[in-house]
Amino acid sequence: MIRSYTVLDGELMPLEPGKGEAQPLWIDAVAPSPAEVEILSKQFRLDLQDVADCLDPNERSRVELEESYDLLVLRSVLREVGGHHEGADRVETMPIGIFVTSNCVVTVRIGASFGYEEVTGDLKRKPKLDTKEDMFLMLVRRVNRDIERRVRPMDRTIASIQQRILGSKRSDVAPQAFALSNGLILLNTTLLSNLNALSMLSRAKLLRFSKEQLDLAEDLENDVAQLYEMTTIYREIMANVLNAYESTIANNLSTVMKTLTTISLILILPLLIASLFSMNVGLPIEEEPGAFWIVVGLSAASVAALWLMFRIKGIL
């Protein structure tokens, strides 16, 4: 599906085909059909291979410079999917290709992770939106904001997981912990590739930034670098948390095995006494009226002695 947008009084608005003479500033192609890809290629002189690359789920972030356009491919996050715990949602990313032509910006993406009203909707102060450079920077900012919204709450989730590992609810923390760790790895890799791509924007030929726009572009690059460092730190923390979880499980298993072994040793002695007195041979006290209770008493005394010895040594 292809949608066109223009700017009216500083606001981004849908452009109805055949209505008005306003020129489109942003053309957004979401999961375009082969016929729509052909239209984009002919109308804006886009290379078909570059468009196809933007629709490849595994395409990496990069910059391509052609005669008729500059292309920036970024990895963006999809909307939150699944998960019943905060921060435990599976993280999925997809490429978004931002083509900058001589007079507009064309985006090609697999899914609609954000709409036109969200490009500037979450900003307290509406930025200037007039040129294709403004539109380009707004789209890059939107991609960064979506990633930031997935990264920022993760510190609280990590703290919650740590508390549960140290507490008694260890059994239900594993799925959330491993999902969060996998999400951090994916976001960290995504941010690194985006950072490398943004660092090459200075080579673009059709992007003519003003001084103010250059400052904004540098701020966006710094934001990506900050998020990358943050996810790197979170990855290290989660690695330590998972190591602590595995150590806790191993220690619990060791404690259980030690307890079982100690109980087995305590029971061996009364079993030995009972086995001796159950043999079908003559024994010293077999004529005694209370022989049964003597055997029981010896067994109980042996259990009590072993239990006391293990308690003194701190084994139990």
pLDDT score at 229: 93
pLDDT score at 305: 84
Which domains are delineated in the chain? 2-250 (3.30.460.20), 255-312 (1.20.58)
pLDDT score at 286: 64
The set of residues, in sequence order, having a beta carbon less than 8 Å from that of 181 and lying 6+ positions away, is 235, 238, 239, 242
Count CA within 13 A, CB hemisphere, residue 84: 3
**What is the separation of C-alpha 127 from the centre of its chain, rounded to a whole number of angstroms?**
30
Q: Using CB atoms within 10 Å of the CB of residue 44, give its burial: 0 to 12 exposed, 13 to 18 middle, 19+ buried.
A: middle
CB atoms within 10 A of CB 224: 25
Helix 132-151 to helix 211-277 angle, to the nearest 10 degrees? Answer: 20
pLDDT score at 306: 80
**Residue indicated by tokens 């223009």:** 6
Per-residue pLDDT of the chain (316 residues; tens, 9 = 90+): 888 888 887 778 888 765 556 788 889 999 999 999 998 888 889 989 989 999 999 899 999 888 889 999 999 988 654 444 444 457 888 999 999 998 889 999 998 888 888 887 766 566 678 888 888 999 999 999 989 888 888 888 888 888 877 765 556 777 788 888 888 898 999 999 999 998 888 888 888 888 888 888 889 999 999 999 999 999 988 888 888 777 777 777 887 888 788 888 777 878 887 777 777 666 677 667 777 777 788 888 888 888 888 778 776 6
C-alpha to C-alpha distance for 62 and 225, rounded to whole angstroms: 16
Q: Enter the pTM of the model.
A: 0.74
C-alpha to C-alpha distance for 203 and 197, rounded to whole angstroms: 11
pLDDT score at 207: 84
pLDDT score at 123: 64
What are the residue ranges of helices labelled H in 102-210?
132-151, 154-166, 174-198
